[in-house]
Structure 1
């Protein structure tokens, strides 16, 4: 029973209940939870990258594989049931092309990437190593502040990969690695570095710190940016993006064109030899006659 302020007896005052609700909402906002899931048809390389991202995100929650080719609204429903505010979806096509969705559920925005140059932790065999569940420093290239769509992309990456709170049960209050996001060649290059101290006594001396790459590493090629979660108005479309299907078709055409050129060259050579017959050599049988006389 809720009692108003000044009434004696048990219960909670209206002001006190409002304070409790506000504190719960503040905690819920601070706890950024990320849902990670993938579609069917993933390869071993995509699965290993999925596991690496799950280890790097202490607030990440894993979900079973889904068939989201027709409708992706089910992802928003699952994120709501899991209590997640963000989502990373691995969408695989033709068992070779990996598309990565990053979305703020359920209202957006969302971004679709084509993932290239994938190298997992187990594959790289790098010397770096950091504590599992520790917090990371996010390092962004200065190019992210120059264009509006890159500013939105920077904010989305900050909310998904950044551990803004120490209250999460799986997040450790240590900072020992750096997530690097570099924008070059119209793509985003992701790297993970460990912070190594050459002198343990000088923890605040940045000159005595060095970075050792841990992994994984991959490249994100932006395709489209939507106002909603997996749908809505298109905010940005990459004009330099070329579909992998088009690239493979052009490669096949290039191979076929080279074969056609070789066939045409042989025909031209044959016609040239027929139209330009060789004149007989008057000295062709000279040495043969000389050997017969001997």
Structure 2
């Protein structure tokens, strides 16, 4: 039979109680030590911009306009691209539903009509406002031989001409452009630096868009100090296009008309005038031909003396 243990060996030592007043050790990450309490406080107070833009187009769009849309998609890292939408009267409800499903707050809709005219809808969903533009002077990145080249996903600097602060409708357009084309700070696909500039300028009541790369010398001897703008240069990257505002609506893709451009002329009217001018040129040619015939009849030519000699 085995021996019984002594009472002293059977006693188990009581665990040592930890000091409850000692602070908890912070969690260690790849970037260093982090305190959980500080993270919660900073997250609760900081504002995070969650702006997302849905970019889509209508069916039967021209290849040139499709390339322009893809250039815009490459410039906006916070956008989401979707399938083509049929351009009907009920397209507003369809686009609002797509924006809600994609979790976006804005929409850029490229609408092509007659495979000639391109219209751009810029809308804040689902409550508005929205703007309808006619797009002219389209030049994509592929067709322009420009030397500029910036990194994809970098945040752009937005610059506006002083004309945007004159009238209320220009102020509204400026605010919408800032919210849609400005990349949020901590966006997942964006880079935390600026190396290109979006330029929006108003000339002849049209908004002209340009994209420039910020080029600085890379030699160690010619390092640019903070604020040294003299050594920086701008190189155009593209694309180029011109926006002619047609109407500003109070809702998303419709609603009350807040502004209507009095100088807008539709492309259909321009083509009709060109046809009338061409028809006028043809009518002038027909009248001139009749006048020549009447002149020949009233003024017959005298018989040629040498013609009889050649016949003999």
Q: What secondary structure does 1:190 align onto?
A: strand
Partner of 1:209: 232
Query: Does residue 1:97 correspond to 2:117, yes or no?
Result: yes
Partner of 1:116: 136
1:223-267: CA deviations, max 9, x gaps?
111111100111111111111111112111111110111101221
Q: 1:104, 1:98 → 2: CA distance?
A: 20
1:1-294 matches, cutoff 5 A: 23=44, 26-27=47-48, 30-71=49-90, 72-163=92-183, 165-198=184-217, 199-274=222-297, 276-277=298-299
Q: 1:279, 1:160 → 2: CA distance?
A: 76
CA displacement at 1:278 relative to structure 2: 5.4
1:172-200: CA deviations, max 9, x gaps?
11100000011112211100000011343
Cα 1:169–1:24 change in 2 (3 A) is: farther
1:17-68: CA deviations, max 9, x gaps?
xx99x949943xx111101011101121111111111110110011111113
CA displacement at 1:273 relative to structure 2: 3.8
What is the TM-score normalised by the length of structure 2?
Answer: 0.79
| Aligned residue-pair number | 264
Cα 1:81–1:194 change in 2 (3 A) is: same
Q: 1:110, 1:153 → 2: CA distance?
A: 9
Cα 1:279–1:263 change in 2 (3 A) is: closer
8 Å CA contact 1:58–1:133 kept in 2: the answer is: yes
8 Å CA contact 2:224–2:231 kept in 1: the answer is: no
Q: 1:45, 1:280 → 2: CA distance?
A: 62
CA displacement at 1:203 relative to structure 2: 4.4
1:129-165: CA deviations, max 9, x gaps?
11111111111111111111111111111111112x3
8 Å CA contact 1:197–1:203 kept in 2: the answer is: no
What is the TM-score normalised by the length of structure 1?
Answer: 0.84
Q: 1:24, 1:75 → 2: CA distance?
A: 33
